[in-house]
Amino acid sequence: MSKRLLLLISISFVLFSCTLSFAGELKYGAILKNNGVEFRIYSENAEKVMLCLFERSHEGVPVKNFEMKKTGKGDWSIFLPDIRPGSYYGYRAWGPNWPYDKNWKPGTEIGFISDVDKDGNRFNPNKLLLDPYAKVISHDPIGDGRVFASGPGNRKIDSATKAPKGIVISDKFDWQGDKNIIYPINKSVVYEVHPRGFTQNPNSGISKNLRGTYRGLVKMIPYLKRLNIDAVELLPIQETVNDQNSDANYGDDNYWGYMTLNYFSPDRRYSSDKSFDGPVKEFKYMVRELHKAGIKVILDVVYNHTGEGGIWRIDGEEDPDICNLLSFRGIDNQTYYQLCNDKRYYYDCTGCGGNVRVTHPYTQKFIVDSLRYWIEEMHVDGFRFDLASVLGNKIDHNGYDFDKFHPLLKKIVDLKKGIPMIAEPWAAGGSNSYQVGGFPMEWFEWNGIFRDTMREAICMKKNTIGRLGSALCGSHDLYGDDGRTAGHSLNFITAHDGMTLYDLTRFDHKVNNQSYPYGPSDGGHDHEVSKDWGTEALRHQQVRNYGTLLLLSRGTPMILGGDEFARTKKGNNNTYNLDTVCNWFDWDLMKKNKHLVAFYGELIKLRRTHPVLYTERFPIGEDHGDADKLPDIQWSGSNFLKPDWSENSHTLAYRLDGSKEETGAKKDDNDFFIAINLWSDKINFQLPPNHKGKKWYRVLDTDKWAEKSTKIANNIHPSGKETPVSDGAWLDLNAGSFEGNESYNYGVNGHSIVVLIEK
């Protein structure tokens, strides 16, 4: 036994006597006790499990092996006294397809029967397995893949040297009184951003050692505050394969991070602290500092499939004998994964190798334990679930059928009140996997119909105005039938997956077959509903239009990070594999387009200031008892109270009643009038009557004339500096017509939106 390990196990454990500090103490993993560590793992079908302790992360020969004891249906455990944080460990497992033989040694096939048997077991003791509950891992898998694969020529390769190992850590951290931020998410504006790409570009102004890290993101808090952002949604930060990304044109960088290796550990690559528990400490530091600034932290999480991938293809054909064994598959393949009838193949609705088996009670517990850990120990404030329809699959093996009453969906939303659970409500396959509007009432949803409607309306497609009106009101048709509110609609126009907002206005079609570093990328949606508007001025105008529609709609808005300064990926709409300047923020472009940043910052501030804009109530065109007798929303077209819902219409206007009876706020808000002209020519909109003694003031005009105007800099007036556009005088305030008031109007230029406030 080495001197270092002797030191680790000989020092009194009094200094490390803390136990797990959060309410939902984990049953599995490396659990610190007062005088040692209990290692616990779950495998129903294993016949023998061995714990291997290592002195260093890349060593292949353990300093000690320990045979674990099975208790109950699938629990394996062992308690080791005097083990302390910093110890590296992994598991080897035997089962029916490869039973234990005392003569087995690493690198041999002694005891081997098959790579996969009739029940779906894929045990292989030559593959060192990562603890699914590890809170930190040593490194990514290293090598060409064969090291971790089963099948002829692969199965006897011992992976211990290359395989990631779990590390025992303490959860101690000085939170300085920090807690989860709990308030209705509909009051927030969510900013979707990659934790690395946000600061990785040298022109970010961040020091080299902090670029692309959790601490680097903290340095950007002043920018987020400048934008008035109060929630960041981070693309996956749970450990994924990305350590070997380089500037060479490999085209397989897994940049987005949707191939999860471990569901408890924050990705080491995003940590500037390279100590063994640095990722945990630095992630907690980031959350604490964001919370101090009033910014919620939402994680994008991937529980529908894992980073182990699927069956290997040989000469274009799947060979079921060959799969990667990194963690879940080697521990208990048929517990963690949904299998086909013959148990040799995987049922897949994800396009990434195979569904997680969400019908199994242990797998449900594993997912819930992971989420609870991130909430209670890491202080995360919400989650967005990738391909969440898979989590509602009620078919145990070989099939798909979404069940909105699936017990896992219920267990997730019951974890903690006030923590929003946001579904990406579709999957890559399954006859009823598209579930926009179909999730249980406690769930929030990415509203893909909102996205499509806004794009089609801006691009002047037919039959869009009626759908636009519904989307502006919070999509009552999707969420109003089961007790949900407008706030449950997570509204977005762009996200990481697809074109940026500027690219929607610059390209007619995706441009994925580019040279490095902006491509190439395979796949990507073929129906982006994008349009090249010809001039930079008009493109910026449409960027403002999109933002205005998004941020003035009922629901919870999400902005793709960088859209506020016209970030571009040069038309590439599937940049998952590019850890390059294509995905990194170009902060020089931000400086160039600072007028757009100012517009978005003031627009977000406007929304957050006025309950009539962020209320979660659906406006339905009815009066709810306020003194002025106005309905909550009053539709018009270019003519007062005469909306044009026809298939060729491209104009819409509406008045929002800001009285507290309509918004549910504690006090009355202002009324607003929004005039939308998506057509190419100028149109005069008749203005609604004002309350006695009040006038209409212009808040914003998205047209290019205002971009550099001295009267309305950056296309928007700060609060208190709005420009009056009416004298407040109607001949008959109750007439409901424009007779005698024909001049009471505002000219809205082509492809423009105007917002007025009554004061």
Residue 573 is encoded by which pair of tokens?
């709409």
Sign of CA dihedral 680, 682, 686, 690: positive
> Which residue's entry shows tokens 């939170």?
175
- DSSP-derived 3-state class of residue 478: helix
**Which helix (H) or strand (E) element contains residue 452?**
helix 448-458
Nearest to 519 by CA among 582, 589, 584: 582
- Three-state SS at 756: strand
Distance CA 1, CA 53 (A): 11
Handedness of CA 196, 201, 205, 210 (dihedral sign): positive
* Separation between Cα atoms, residue 479 and residue 446, nearest integer Å: 12
Integer-rounded Cα radius of gyration of the chain:
28
Q: 385-408 in b/e burial notation, b at 16+ Cβ within 10 A?
A: bbbbbbbbbbbebeebebeeebeb
List strands edge to edge, sheet with 48-54: 64-67, 48-54, 88-94, 166-167
Catalytic residue among 239, 277, 381, 386: 386
What is the secondary structure of 158-214 as a DSSP string?
A: --TTTS--EE--------TT-----S-GGG--EEEE-TTTTT-SGGG---GGGTTSH
Taking the CA atoms of 570, 575, 581 and 585 in sequence, report the sign of the dihedral they define.
Answer: positive
C-alpha distances (whole Å) from 599 to each of 51, 228, 557, 606 are: 57, 11, 16, 10
Catalytic status, residue 414: no
Could you give the count of Cα atoms lying within 13 Å of 533 in the half-sphere of its Cβ?
Answer: 25
Please state, in angstroms and rounded to a whole number, the distance separating the CA atoms of residues 343 and 118. 6
Q: For residue 639, how many other CB atoms are within 10 A of its CB?
A: 16
Point out the catalytic residue in the list 424, 703, 722, 758.
424
Q: Which amino acid is at 43?
A: S
**CA separation, residue 528 to residues 194, 255, 357, 451 (Å):** 22, 22, 32, 10
Residue 82 is classified by DSSP as T
Whole-angstrom Cα distance, residue 498 to residue 511?
11
Place of tokens 């929002």: 656
For 174, 373, 490, the CA distances from 21, given in Å and listed in that order, are: 12, 10, 33
d(CA 281, CA 524): 36
Question: Which amino acid type is present at position 232?
Answer: V
Calpha distance 679→247 (Å, rounded): 45
Residue of 573, 578, 580, 579 whose CA lies nearest to 511: 573
User: Could you tell me the CA-to-CA distances from 610 to 603, 615, 635, 654, 667 in Å, in that order?
Assistant: 11, 9, 20, 16, 11
Place of tokens 């395989």: 163
CA 332, CA 328: separation in Å to the nearest integer? 6
Residue 87 φ then ψ, to 5°: -80, 140
CA distance 270 to 274: 10
386 is catalytic: yes
CB-based contact 696:756 (threshold 8 Å): yes
User: Which residues are part of the catalytic machinery?
Assistant: 386, 424
